[in-house]
Amino acid sequence: MRVKYIYMYNTIQIEVKENIGIIRLNRPDKLNAINLQMVEELVKALDELENNNDVKIVIITGNGRAFSAGADIKEMLETPLEDIMKRGHMPLWEKLRSFKKPIIAALNGITAGGGLELAMACDIIIAAESAKLGQPEINLGIIPGAGGTQRLTRTVGKFRAMELVLTGKLISAREAEAYGLVNKVVPDNSLLDEAIKLAKEIATKPAITLMLAKEAVSKAWDTLLQQGLDIERRNFYLALSTEEAKEGMKAFIEKRKPRWEK
C-alpha cells in the first residue's frame, strides 16, 4: 500500500496508507498507558483523520508488547480529583463516541482497564493470539470509569462481565473471542496485515454509507448507554476519592500488594 504520510506526536504516531488511517499508541516503555498528553493527542489525531476526506476508516493499535495497559496510574495518583473530573480523559471518550468513520482496534498485547475501554469504544476488534484482556481496576481499589462496566456488560452479558470486573482477572484472546468480545483472533505476526485487509474491504464501500451504517448500528447499541455511563462516572469518582484507591495505586507504583483495611 502507498503511504501518503506519517506524523509523529509525542505519545502516538499517525500513518495514512491510501484511504486507511493508522494510529499507533507509542509509549511502549509504559505499556502505552493513557496519560493526559495521549488523550489530547488522540483527540487531535481523530479530528485530523475525521476531517481528511481521503480517509474512510481508521485502525488503532499499539507499539511494543501492549495495546494499552490502561490509565497512567502514577499520573492519576498525583493529579487532584478535581482536576481529573474537570480535565481527565472524557474528551477522548466523547470524541470516540461521536467519530463518524469506522474504527478497528487491533490488539497487539496487553489490553487492560482503559485500554480495553478504548478498544470497546471502537467498532470492530481484532486480537493477536498473545493478547490479554480485562478490567483490573478493582485491584487498585477503583472501578472502570470509561465504559468498562457498561460496554463490557452489553457485550458479554451480566454474569461474565460481573466476574471480570469483580475479580480483575485478564482473559486470553481466545476466551475473549468465545465471549464475543473480539471479532477474531489472528497470529501475532499478521495482526496489522489482517486489520488492514479488513479495513481495505470496508473501504470499498461508499464513505457516506459507511458513516450512516455505523450511526444506525451504534444507535441500537447505545440508546440507553448514556444513563449507565453517567452512573459509572459518578461511582468511579466516588471510588477514586477513597483511601483504598490511594493505597491501591500507591502499592502499584511501589510494586507491592496493597494494604487495605478489612
pLDDT by residue for the chain (262 residues), tens digit each? 666 667 888 999 999 999 999 999 999 999 999 999 999 999 999 999 999 999 999 999 999 999 999 989 888 888 777 777 767 788 898 999 999 999 999 999 999 999 999 999 999 999 999 999 999 999 999 889 888 998 999 999 999 999 999 999 999 999 999 999 999 999 999 999 999 999 999 999 988 888 888 888 887 776 677 777 787 788 888 888 888 888 888 888 999 988 877 5
State yes or no: is 41 an active-site residue.
no
Instruction: Specify the pLDDT at position 43.
Output: 96
Torsion angles phi and psi, residue 23, rounded to 5: -110, 125
Catalytic hit among 33, 71, 105, 161: 71
State yes or no: is 62 an active-site residue.
no
User: In 169-206, where does DSSP find H-type helix?
Assistant: 173-179, 191-202
Instruction: Specify the pLDDT at position 127.
Output: 99
Catalytic hit among 137, 147, 203, 248: 137
State yes or no: is 248 an active-site residue.
no
Cell numbers for 146, please give them. 470509561
Catalytic hit among 66, 88, 117, 148: 117
Q: How far apart are CA 6 and CA 259, in angstroms?
A: 46
Asked whether the beta carbons of 86 and 105 are under 8 A apart, the reply is: no
Q: What is the DSSP string of 27-38?
A: -GGGTT-B-HHH
Instruction: Specify the pLDDT at position 89.
Output: 80
The alpha carbon of 149 is separated from its chain's Cα centroid by a whole number of angstroms, namely 13
Superfamily grouping for domain 3-189+207-253: 2-enoyl-CoA Hydratase; Chain A, domain 1 (3.90.226.10)
Catalytic hit among 21, 62, 113, 114: 114
State yes or no: is 147 an active-site residue.
no
Buried b (16+ CB within 10 A) or exposed e, 97-121: eebebbbbbbbbbbbbbbbbbbbbb
